[in-house]
Amino acid sequence: MASIITFNLNKRLLFSVITVNLLAFATGNAYSWSSTVLPILQSNNTEKNPLGRPITSSEISWIASLMYLGASAGPISAGYCSNKIGRKKTLILFSIPMLISHLILAFATTIEEIVIARFMMGLGAGCAFTVIPIYVGEIAEMEIRGFLGCFMTVSFSLGLLMVYIIDPFVDMMILSFMLIVPIGFFLFLFILFVPESPYFYMARKEKESAEKSLFKFRDTDVSSILKELDDIEEIVKDSRNSKISSEILSSRTFRRAIIITTVLMVSQQFVGNTIILAYMGIIFDATGTKISVSTSSVAVAFIQLVVVFVSSFLVDKWGRRFLLITSTAGCILPLIMMSTFFYLQYLEIELSNLWWLPTFSLIVFIFTYNIGLASLPWILLGELFPMESKGLASSITAFTCLFLAFIMTLIFPSLEQLIGFHGAFFFFSVNSVLAFIFVLTFVPETKGKSFQDILRILDK
């Protein structure tokens, strides 16, 4: 791996991947925003709370959830735009609502302004998750595609961590202005210095533009680059000729693949990861832990960053199925520990000696969740479907994931009032058990297998 990266990684390619992932970094900022700002909006301190009053439980749920509703529109709208106007223009177009949303939040004094800004933020986030992997996959060389692909999850985790680190030192206005900076850098660098994907040019039958684009991303000899260009032309031609037939959609392989990927996406939400990210500040406040909310949040985000980086090197070594089994099984115990802690708290049992347990439990959960369940469903999405049905499958599963995230974050405050934090975390632990059983029973290993081998496994 080291030699591949040292000798084959073109400087323009690396610069382009880092630049496009500034938008992934900004998306991480957006995801952690509610966790850090909601406690401010709940306070009676009018110097810090721009609304001048504590927000209600209903308002909390809408602020936390509307970003996911906006994000659920991303896989369809951004996917369509990326094929019509290009990957580059689509990313630029959808980053503008993110930038505007932070400007609105900087001066917001009403709940309506905040929820509108959160929805706009979600539009950009949904686009980032949809188009960045496409763009990076199309400009990267095959040997380092996996390595460069992990930049998105690492950048996202860095974005989460940054907000948790600076949160104790700034108010909502300053935070919003600071979060404009990575989007501004992205727009400046991406517009001026980053080329469009050669695949998009080839799809538009602009072979000369595709050739110029590919030459900017490669340091290999001219004959190798021209051969790769011919390969791109062949792939685009095959893709253009491929049609989604009713026979493909009704086949056993497609049905099994769509069930596996959709259930895994649903499991991502039902084990509680999105809820924990969105309401982390409120959850830590409720535990009464001696560790400050900001310190606990930074610890959790740092562990997530480390794990997503390490796991990117384990996927091809240990396999998808093993990591998913480990991940889903590993989520069960920390969620039960959180449920037990909150239940003992509900019974008014003295817990001063267990002040460390909530932070420890969430760190273990974040570690086990991110080792497999966080990223592997998206990898399987690219491995279980043929090219002609991959677009449809991606839209279905990504929409399901993000829309369910909207529903979960919307209802969580009401759910917590109904069954308590102990009931909510017990619900998450039960779903982790179900996810573990599902993976053990139905998810095949795809490591090192050709697409034809995978189809044969799904057809059994």
Q: Per-residue pLDDT tens for 167-212?
A: 888 888 999 999 999 999 999 999 999 999 999 999 899 999 999 9
Do the domain assignments include residue 223?
no
Share of residues in the chain with pLDDT > 70 (%) = 94
Do the domain assignments include residue 460?
yes
| Token pair of 227 as six digits | 């051969």
25, 159 Cβ separation under 8 angstroms: yes
Eight-class DSSP state of 146:
H
**For residue 252, what are the contacts with CB-CB under 8 A and spacing of at least 6?**
458, 459
Do the domain assignments include residue 229?
no
Query: Do 281 and 149 sit in the same domain of this protein?
Result: no
The per-residue pLDDT for range 21-39, each reduced to its tens digit, is 999 999 999 988 988 888 8
| Token pair of 24 as six digits | 């992934």
Higher pLDDT, 330 or 395: 330
The per-residue pLDDT for range 94-109, each reduced to its tens digit, is 999 999 999 999 999 9
Do the domain assignments include residue 419?
yes
Query: Do 392 and 252 sit in the same domain of this protein?
Result: yes
The boundaries of the domain holding residue 178 are: 11-194
Of the three residues 194, 217, 238, the one that is the final residue of a domain is 194
Do the domain assignments include residue 233?
no
The model's confidence at residue 450, banded by pLDDT at 50, 70 and 90, is low
The segment with the largest mean pLDDT, out of 47-56, 285-294, 315-324, is: 47-56
Of the three residues 173, 194, 215, the one that is the final residue of a domain is 194
CA distances from 47 to 43, 172, 280 (A): 10, 11, 23
Query: Do 182 and 258 sit in the same domain of this protein?
Result: no
Backbone angles phi, psi at 455, to 5 degrees: -60, -40
Dist. CA 86–CA 198, nearest whole Å: 10
Higher pLDDT, 77 or 419: 419
Do the domain assignments include residue 5?
no
What local confidence, expressed as pLDDT, does residue 369 receive? 94
User: How many domains is the chain partitioned into structurally?
Assistant: 2
Give the type of residue at 217. Answer: F
The per-residue pLDDT for range 223-282, each reduced to its tens digit, is 888 998 998 888 788 766 666 666 667 778 888 989 999 999 999 999 999 899 888 888
CATH of the domain at 160: 1.20.1250.20
The model's confidence at residue 5, banded by pLDDT at 50, 70 and 90, is very low
Do the domain assignments include residue 85?
yes
What local confidence, expressed as pLDDT, does residue 419 receive? 94
Query: Do 347 and 456 sit in the same domain of this protein?
Result: yes
Closest to 152 in 3D by CA, of 1, 375, 310: 375
CA distances from 286 to 4, 71, 169, 358 (A): 48, 28, 22, 10
Eight-class DSSP state of 288:
T
For 306, other C-beta atoms within 10 Å of its C-beta total 15
Give the mean pLDDT of the chain: 87
Closest to 125 in 3D by CA, of 30, 18, 35: 30
Higher pLDDT, 325 or 459: 325
Do the domain assignments include residue 242?
no
What local confidence, expressed as pLDDT, does residue 247 receive? 65
Query: Do 157 and 256 sit in the same domain of this protein?
Result: no
Query: Do 353 and 435 sit in the same domain of this protein?
Result: yes
Query: Do 432 and 346 sit in the same domain of this protein?
Result: yes
Query: Do 141 and 277 sit in the same domain of this protein?
Result: no
Query: Do 171 and 278 sit in the same domain of this protein?
Result: no
Query: Do 261 and 374 sit in the same domain of this protein?
Result: yes
Closest to 193 in 3D by CA, of 91, 88, 79: 88
User: Looking at the predicted structure, is the pLDDT value of residue 1 above 70?
Assistant: no
Query: Do 268 and 409 sit in the same domain of this protein?
Result: yes
Query: Do 145 and 282 sit in the same domain of this protein?
Result: no
Dist. CA 364–CA 202, nearest whole Å: 46
